[in-house]
Amino acid sequence: MADITVTEHLLLHQKRTPQATGQFTGLLYDLILSGKSISRRINKAGLLDILGGTGEVNVQGENVQKMDAIANRIMLYRMERCGALCAMSSEEEAELVRVSPEFPRGDYILVFDPLDGSTNIDVNINVGTIFSILRRPEGHTGEVTLEEVLQPGCRQVAAGYILYGPSTMLVLSTGQGVHGFTLDPGVGEFLLSHPNMRIPEQGHIYSVNEGNWKNWDEPTRDVLQWFHNCETPDGTSYSSRYVGALVADFHRTLIYGGIYLYPPDRKKPQGKLRLMCEANPLAFLAEQAGGKASDGAGRILEKQPDRLHARTPLFIGSAKDVEAVERIYARCAQA
C-alpha cells in the first residue's frame, strides 16, 4: 500500500466535506507541526535538563513539570499564529487566551491539555497532547466571550491526541470515524497506520487507580467489584492495567477495548479529569469509534461546562463495559 500522509488524508476529507474550509485544514496542519516539535523535545528530554518540575503549581493545583511548560509554550506560540483561531484554552492557563489582534483571527476555538500524564516523563513512560476543536457560534464577532467557549462536547468539530510513546502517534477524528497516524521520524511525516479505528463492543481490561478504593462510595465499589468478577465472552477474567497517563490508558482501550474509569471520590467529588480538555475530546473519539463515554449517569458529550476547568467523573471505552457501569449506578440510586 502506498503511504498516505496525514496532509493527504486531510485534503481528501476536505474535498469530501462541503463545509470544510482551508482554514480548518490549516489549523490541523499547525497543530500537527506543534506535536512534532513537542515530540522532538520529549525524545531528547533526558539529555537537555528539561526533566523534573519547575517548582510551580498550576491552576489545577498540580506541580508543573518543565516539559508541561515547554509543551504549553510551543502550542500557544504556534497556534496563535495559525490564522484559524479566535481563542484557546489550555490546561496550564487559568484564563481563556484570546488571539492577539496583531495576528489574523479565524472562527475556531482550540482547547488542549499540552502534556497529559506529564509526571510519567521522568520515568520515560508515555505522555501525550490532547486537543478539542470547537467552532465559534454563528453570527458572533468581536471579542470572544467565555460563554461562546463553554460548549458541550457534542459540538466539537474535531478532536484527537498525539501520543509520545515508543512511536509518536496522532489519533484524530473530524467526525468521520477515527484514524491513527504514526510519525516516521526519518521522513518527518505522520503516515496513516490505523485507518477506521473501532473499539471492540466488550473488552477484557479495566483501568483505574485502585489506590482510591478507601475514598470511594459503595456504588463505585460495586462497579469495581463487577469488573473483578465479570467474564469476557470467552470466559476469561478481566485484567487490570493502569499507566496513570489518561492518553495512554485511553489509547490502549481504543485498540483492545475494555474500560478506563476515573470515578468521583471523597477527596474529588466531581472527579479528577477536566471535562473540556480531557474527557470531551476522548469521548468524541470513543463515540466515533463505536464506544461510549459516560459520567456514570449520562453521556459526557452532553454535559454543559460551567467553567473552563470544570471536572467530571469519566467512564470510557467499550459500549457494553460503559453500559454496565451506568446500570450499576442507576440500580444503586434506586435502592
Nearer to ligand F6P, 39 or 253 (CB): 253
Is residue 170 marked as binding? no
Minimum separation from the CB atom of position 323 to ligand F6P (A)? 22
Taking CA atoms, 240 is separated from 83, 128, 153, 255, 322, in Å, by: 44, 21, 28, 15, 16
Which of ligand F6P, Mn ion, none does residue 317 bind to, with CB < 5 to 8 Å depending on kind?
Answer: none
Count of residues binding Mn ion (CB under 5 A)? 2
Instruction: State which of residues 30, 68, 92, 116 lies at the interface with Mn ion (CB under 5 A).
Output: 116
Question: Where along the sequence are the contacts to ligand F6P (CB under 6 A)?
Answer: 116-117, 209, 244-246, 272
Minimum separation from the CB atom of position 183 to ligand F6P (A)? 21
113 binds Mn ion (CB under 5 A): yes
Which of ligand F6P, Mn ion, none does residue 82 bind to, with CB < 5 to 8 Å depending on kind?
Answer: none
Is residue 91 marked as binding? yes
Taking CA atoms, 166 is separated from 19, 109, 124, 273, in Å, by: 36, 30, 10, 25
Closest by CA to 149, choosing from 25, 266, 280, is 280
Closest by CA to 118, choosing from 66, 56, 169, is 66
Cell numbers 458529550: residue: 301
**H-state helical runs in the chain:** 6-16, 22-43, 66-80, 146-149, 218-229, 246-256, 280-288, 319-334
Is residue 206 marked as binding? no
Which of Mn ion, ligand F6P, none does residue 219 bind to, with CB < 5 to 8 Å depending on kind?
Answer: none
Is residue 93 marked as binding? no
Q: What whole-number distance in Å separates Cα of residue 125 and Cα of residue 63?
A: 18
Binding footprint of Mn ion on the chain (CB under 5 A):
113, 116
List, as residue ranges, the binding site for substrate.
209, 242, 260-262, 272
